[in-house]
Structure 1
Amino acid sequence: MIALWQSISPFLLPLYYVGIFFVVIQILLENRNPLKTHSYLLLLLLVPFVGLVIYLFFGQNHRKLKIMAKRRLINQAFGPEYIQDYLKNEQTEVHPQGHFDKLIRFLHKDLSPISLNNRVTVLHNGEEKFPAVMEAIENAKHHIHIEYYIFDNDSIGKPLAELLIKKAKQGVKVRMIVDGVGSLGLKKAFFKKMLSGGVQLKEYMPVLFPSFTSKINYRDHRKIIIVDGKIGFTGGINVDDRYINGGQNSLYWRDTHLKIEGEAVKTLQFLFFLNWQFVSQETIRATKQYFPEITNLGKHCIQINASGPELDLASIMDSFFIAITSAKNRIRISTPYFIPTESIIDAITTAAKSDVDVELMIPFDSDSRIVQAASFSFIKRLLQAGVKVYLYQRGFLHAKVIIIDDGFASVGTANMDYRSFDLNHEVNTYIYDDEVVGILQNQFDQDLQDSEKIDLNKWENRGIKQKLKESLCRLLAPLL
């Protein structure tokens, strides 16, 4: 083997260096975020051959450009029709919490209308979510639309799939999108069964090489259910047994989901329509059966915002920045993956230095050691700025919640990391209501009881080996 390498290396190494030269030129010409550019260059330097393979599989933007072009055409074709015919613009009628006006205006320009006629139910963990979902689907009359990152054919997924088939056979239109990476475990037999049962099932960007899918880019990370255009579900909980506590999974899973009834469901419907047209090439005619009239249902004020790789603006990240910088008294953040952009961490630390009470809760134990190490590398700076950081210890904290003062909260699918901000399709619900925010505040307080507050002195006195590991992982943070 050594002799073989010695004989071919004089020919391979020059080709490799030429290839690296052109890859570096390409990376520089793409004019990406400097942090991401530095990360790829560092990867090519430290692990030459492996770094090149990683870049070729995950770093190129050709695929993104194709996605952007196709999805933009769909958005431009359907967006104006939706706005003109089915959007009830309540912006002039609703004035919740005056210091969030800037956020409301920003989201409104991003096809995120504000609506007042809604009723929101906070669902804690899978134990509360899935019974509510099953009940709503059982009562469906016209259509059921489902879009999930993870849909597993397990003890929770099987009965849900059977119910969808049952409703399809009753004449209810059932459309379903599952992500090609998140739902990779679904077998061909599952797709065949659903399709033969009358469920229109599509896979979002199927993958060709399963061995390389754990972190592949541009995924549909949303969790959306729409029933008859009147009831919507969205939040952090996928369809998987791990989200049910007290069942087969021994790890306690802490998560937050929402049931939305009312005008805001139309935005979820709109988002589903865009993705359905992308995966199926089928244009659904927007009728009043999909966008029904909603009257006197509730008073909860909501905006629903989405982001994706085809959009020029990273709107969820930008909206997080605006919300955090709008805080007057308190900021509470719960997220499973904390790898913030420089603007987000600047907003958080500046708020803390301005006498805003800032609390951050992340898992003590993550499902990714590299991501957790990168997350821990930010903690010292947060503590020095006066941010209170807590490690959740009862199980795995998967809730993605931001609470600002007493009148604003965000619940959604987006983590506070580069992947959610820049690469994945996400959807978040922004709530301007003291009652709903109060419920989320109470849950945050309960979660604090299962968390340990980090002490700055103890944190600084940790071993050099752990600190070095975190610093090295942080260098790759823009790629995680």
Structure 2
Amino acid sequence: MCRRACSTPDSLLSRFMQHDKLHMDHLWRPGDIESTRSRAGALTIPRTATPRKSYMSDGFLAALSWPSALAFVLALVVVVLGLVIWSIRRHRDPRLVIDCDAPIAELLPSLSGLTQGTVYEGNAVELLANGAFFDAMFEEIRAATCSVHFETFLWKDGVLGTRLVDALVERRRAGVPVRVLVDADGGKKMGEDAARRLREAGCRLEMHHPSHVRHIGVFNERDHRKLVVVDGKVALVGGHCIVDSWLGDGQDRKHVSDLGVRLRGPVVHAVQGAFSENWVEDTGEMFVGDAVFPPLERVGEVAVHVASIKPEGSPPAVKILHHLVVCVARKRIRIQNPYFLPDGEAIDALCEAAQRGVDVRVMVPSTEASDMPMVQHAAHRNFHLLLAGGVRIFEYQKCLLHQKVMTIDGAWCAIGSSNFDDRSFETNDEITLGLRDEALAAQLDEIFERDTRDCIELQADAWARRGLWHRCKDNALYAFNELL
């Protein structure tokens, strides 16, 4: 027979008093109560009690005035938002240590794969120097029958801009769809008349990331690409801007020296895809069909891959490409770039290449010839490390040297819009072509050698003796190198 346990009145009272004591101990401090004891018992009865003080009433915020508390909360919000943005944008930089003995001519699948691209075989490439780039551009635009897509960073009102507007308007009135994409910051001086004429003729003109609160999170991300795609069959890529100083032949400091290429063949699809990336972002329009992506046959022997992607959480493709090819070079590296500010890992990679016997030479514009002397001073801050590591540096005196080109071992070369600095490698939208073409690499090496005649080569001992004021400017401006 089972017996059900039951509680007696005494046991219930005992439990109640024990619970009540715990509850009172939680609410009241020992010194907050007065006790009365009867002669026969020890029952404690609270007479007067002082509640515990609120933590918040004695806390940090309570000690602040309302304006100060509000400022503190706002500052905390800013810090938290900054950490959120940093966590979204941060990525692990690649280790620039490559264990590979293969020549670069055999590494195109690796180079394109690591930069999220594709190797396109069977292309024809034509190198275009200085004003000849625009001659080719206008030739292709005038011949357009299906579509014209134009993208640039810098456009200033002038003779060149007027010629371009005339050409685009003429094609649009002939029934050819025309899309024009200009960076909003670089296009501030393109002129209201140019924009009005393009839009009145029916051209689609879009300004990338204009000054607006909805773009506050991406306003520093500029569209630095310079490209033209005509009928989806021909593309021009380089460093040329729509500014009158790019006309001519880089003959003096009123003009600019620059290089670009004209492409025909399957790789034009990749350049068209790069244009569509920002076009879709700015307009939402996705263009399709043979007018923009026609079937493309082999027309030459050059293999090309395109680096333009900026994946979330990973280094941008242009950064991986420029750093990676330095690590696999065996014989020689030639770099011509207007804004050369390599980070610490790239400096180490260039110096290690020189120490393993690679002939490493870099050409930049002099401070006097540059359009942005502040950038040159920021670059100077680490030149002593490169010189000590065996890298040869040449400063071009004749004019602004604006081409962004590299050659590796006389077999592979890069050309496009990317500077060798953090802004291009981390922030801007860029495009760089990687080309396996010994003939083109030889042309670029020849241009480098020719341009050395207008250069002063920096010497490590003389560079170490540069003036105190020069050093101060170098160090001060380097602190802002990611914003320059």
Measured after TM superposition, the shift of residue 326 of structure 1 is 0.6
Deviations 1:345-401 (A, max 9, x none): 111111111111100111112222321111011110011001111000001111111
Aligned mate of 2:112, from 90, 94, 107: 107
Instruction: List aligned pairs for 1:345-360, cutoff 5 A.
Output: 345-360=347-362
User: 1: CA distance between counterparts of 2:196 and 2:352?
Assistant: 53
Measured after TM superposition, the shift of residue 412 of structure 1 is 0.8
User: 2: CA distance between counterparts of 1:337 and 1:124?
Assistant: 19
- Secondary structure at the aligned position of 1:478 is classed as coil
- Secondary structure at the aligned position of 2:205 is classed as strand
Deviations 1:39-85 (A, max 9, x none): xxxxxxxxxxxxxxxxxxxxxx8xx89xxxxxxxxxxxxxxxxxxxx
**Residue type of the alignment partner of 1:105:** S
User: 2: CA distance between counterparts of 1:181 and 1:264?
Assistant: 29
Question: Does residue 261 of structure 2 align to residue 273 of structure 1?
Answer: no
1:284 paired residue number: 287
Distance 1:244-1:12 versus aligned 2 partners, 3 A rule = farther
Task: Indicate conservation of the 8 Å contact 1:330/1:358, yes or no.
Answer: yes
Task: Indicate conservation of the 8 Å contact 1:374/1:470, yes or no.
Answer: yes
Distance 1:12-1:387 versus aligned 2 partners, 3 A rule = farther
- Secondary structure at the aligned position of 1:389 is classed as strand
Deviations 1:224-280 (A, max 9, x none): 100111110011001110111379995231111111111111101111122221111
1:77 paired residue number: none
Distance 1:438-1:311 versus aligned 2 partners, 3 A rule = farther
Sequence identity percentage? 28
Measured after TM superposition, the shift of residue 187 of structure 1 is 3.4
Aligned mate of 1:143, from 141, 147, 153: 147
Q: Which has the higher helix share?
A: 1
Measured after TM superposition, the shift of residue 27 of structure 1 is 4.5
Question: Does residue 468 of structure 2 align to residue 464 of structure 1?
Answer: yes
1:172 paired residue number: 176
- Equivalences, count: 405
Question: Does residue 459 of structure 2 align to residue 448 of structure 1?
Answer: no
Q: TM-score, normalised by structure 1?
A: 0.78
1:403 paired residue number: 407
Aligned mate of 2:123, from 103, 118, 122: 118
**Residue type of the alignment partner of 2:156:** D
User: 1: CA distance between counterparts of 2:252 and 2:186?
Assistant: 19
- Secondary structure at the aligned position of 1:338 is classed as coil
Aligned mate of 1:259, from 237, 243, 262: 262
Deviations 1:285-321 (A, max 9, x none): 2x23322223341111111110347573321111111
- Secondary structure at the aligned position of 2:141 is classed as helix
Task: Indicate conservation of the 8 Å contact 2:209/2:219, yes or no.
Answer: no
In structure 2, list runs of 5 or more residues that go unmatched: 1-64, 91-101
Q: TM-score, normalised by structure 2?
A: 0.77
1:156 paired residue number: 160
Task: Indicate conservation of the 8 Å contact 1:241/1:248, yes or no.
Answer: no
User: 1: CA distance between counterparts of 2:418 and 2:256?
Assistant: 17
Task: Indicate conservation of the 8 Å contact 1:219/1:424, yes or no.
Answer: yes
Aligned mate of 1:233, from 236, 239, 259: 236
2:385 paired residue number: 381
Task: Indicate conservation of the 8 Å contact 1:165/1:199, yes or no.
Answer: yes
Task: Indicate conservation of the 8 Å contact 2:350/2:360, yes or no.
Answer: yes
In structure 1, list runs of 5 or more residues that go unmatched: 1-9, 33-60, 66-96
- Secondary structure at the aligned position of 1:477 is classed as coil
Instruction: List aligned pairs for 1:70-219, cutoff 5 A.
Output: 98-102=103-107, 104-108=109-113, 110-125=115-130, 127-208=131-212, 217-219=220-222
1:307 paired residue number: 309
User: 2: CA distance between counterparts of 1:471 and 1:13?
Assistant: 36
Look at both structures and tell me which one has the larger radius of gyration over its CA atoms. 2
2:62 paired residue number: none
Distance 1:281-1:13 versus aligned 2 partners, 3 A rule = same
User: 2: CA distance between counterparts of 1:231 and 1:311?
Assistant: 33
Segment drifting more, 236-245 vs 405-414: 236-245
User: 1: CA distance between counterparts of 2:219 and 2:452?
Assistant: 34
